[in-house]
A and B are shown apart, each in its own frame.
Chain A
């Protein structure tokens, strides 16, 4: 293969709902990759509340609670919380690697299949990224990329396939682990929002 690789650019899709989906994937990828800095906390905390008129969807409720938590959170505390949960010294309390949640054995095989699939999509790991491709943040970025490819039937099918194979089960277990952790505070809200968002995603990807 040619050695020429270029940084991935995400084109926002035209359909507003898909633009929003892409945004949520981007945001969750960022939050699952590293603790939020002051700018990110401020952006989340300062964002508009969702659906404040009348009844609120579960998504709106979870989002608004996350925004409130972001306003109350110090960046240093959020970052050490991230490190304690996902990095830690020695063994992390919660692993952010999807294959861990997908299989008891044969995780290597899943990772190999994932790498092949990414290669077929024309994606390769950025030089600076050291984490294996099954990192939640990496999977969410791959979905973000697929969403940015458009909203045709074929494009949605690709999204559905990738989501079903790598995210549907793992992300639920991952978020469950965060919610169950006593060290989680800000990330409990991130996990709750992610759970609701991905529940919507699994349904939405069935009805196209």
Chain B
């Protein structure tokens, strides 16, 4: 356990030193623009042909959780 706590700190220190999480920049953008509960503008039109590509709204939830 102690070992885990120690390595958890070194992981965090590493991330902080690398510049991750110094500010909440990306998290803020994610909350603002790619949050699960906000609608998004449609992406540009499909150029692949067919009916494939849809709007980008579902990027925010590519997955559903399967209830098991």
Contacts and interface: CB of A to CB of B under 8 A. Distances in A.
A7 B10 CA distance: 34
Interface of A: 1-2, 4-10, 12, 15-24, 26-27, 29-30, 33-35, 37-40, 43-44, 47-48, 50-51, 56-60, 63, 79-80, 82-83, 87-89, 118-119, 122-130, 135, 137-138, 141-142, 145, 151, 153, 156, 197, 200, 203-204, 207-208
A208 B19 contact: no
Given A39-B41, A50-B25, A207-B7, A87 B47 contact: yes
A153 to B, nearest CB: 5
Nearest to A88: B47
Contact of B25 (A56, A63, A129): A63
Contacts of B59: 29-30, 33-34, 137, 141
B63 A20 contact: no
Contacts of B4: 153, 208
B20 A21 contact: yes
Contacts of B56: 30, 33-34, 37
24 contacts: A8-B64, A8-B65, A15-B12, A16-B21, A20-B21, A20-B25, A23-B29, A23-B30, A30-B34, A38-B41, A50-B19, A80-B44, A89-B49, A118-B63, A122-B67, A122-B68, A124-B64, A125-B63, A125-B64, A126-B62, A141-B62, A203-B14, A204-B11, A207-B7
